[in-house]
Amino acid sequence: MYFKRSKTLDAPTDVYAHEVELLEGGTLDLSTLRGKPTLIVNTASKCGYTPQFEGLQELYATYQDQGLQILGCPSADFAGQEHDDAVATGEVCRRNYGVTFPVTAKMSVRADPHPLWEDLNRQPGSKPPVWNFTKYLVDGDGKLVARWATKVKPDDPEIKAAIERALAK
């Protein structure tokens, strides 16, 4: 399915050096997140793992005041499980799961990755997502510190501990 895979970088780069289009319009310059850890997640509205939005929102509600940011990135790279219509995607995120963290416009995370995802996928210790809801934790300096597969739920103690360590820096 994916014949092209970029070589992993030898040294980390600044993930906050990117801009993304937001679901409801406008652009988010990720450099505005500098100094705060960010959990970046490739999402899909029509996936069996879509209920993870609830856990992501709980993480955000728990740690937002301490500085955690979460960025959801809808993608149809895996079995076309994202709506083509931004309004429909927004309804799933906002209405169905109460998501208040930023969500990007639909983008590719693996097939023809957006520059943010090309960068995330190539970081030392990283790799491209193999399905929806892969989670990447970036520290306040824009460096990847951890990656979790789809099946690791947002409330997993390992994710919470990593977020708490990143917030303590």
Q: What is the CATH number of the domain that holds 145?
A: 3.40.30.10
- Taking the C-alpha atoms of residue 106 and residue 114, their distance in angstroms, rounded to an integer, is 10
- DSSP 8-state code for residue 93: I
The answer to whether residue 104 is domain-embedded is yes
Q: Which of 47, 105, 152, 167 is catalytic?
A: 47
Which single residue is written with the structure tokens 């996928």? Answer: 121
The distance of Cα 64 from the centroid of its chain, to the nearest Å, equals 15
The answer to whether residue 49 is domain-embedded is yes
Q: Which residues contact 72 (CB under 8 A, 6 or more apart)?
A: 41, 43, 53, 56, 93, 99, 101, 102, 103, 104
- DSSP 8-state code for residue 30: G
Identify whether 47 is a catalytic site residue: yes
- CB count in 10 Å sphere of residue 104: 22
The answer to whether residue 9 is domain-embedded is no
Please tell me the pTM assigned to this model: 0.95
The answer to whether residue 96 is domain-embedded is yes
Residues spanned by the domain of 93: 15-168
The answer to whether residue 140 is domain-embedded is yes
- CB count in 10 Å sphere of residue 35: 12
E strands within 44-151?
A: 69-74, 135-138, 144-148
The answer to whether residue 8 is domain-embedded is no
The answer to whether residue 106 is domain-embedded is yes
Q: Tens digits of per-residue pLDDT, 18-71?
A: 999 999 999 999 999 999 999 999 999 999 999 999 999 999 999 999 999 999
Region 93-119: what's the mean pLDDT?
95
The answer to whether residue 1 is domain-embedded is no
Instruction: Report yes or no: 8 and 88 within 8 Å, Cβ to Cβ.
Output: no
Residue 1 is predicted with a pLDDT of 43
How many folded domains does the chain comprise?
A: 1
Residue 109 is predicted with a pLDDT of 95
User: Residue 90: in which H helix or E strand, if any?
Assistant: helix 86-90
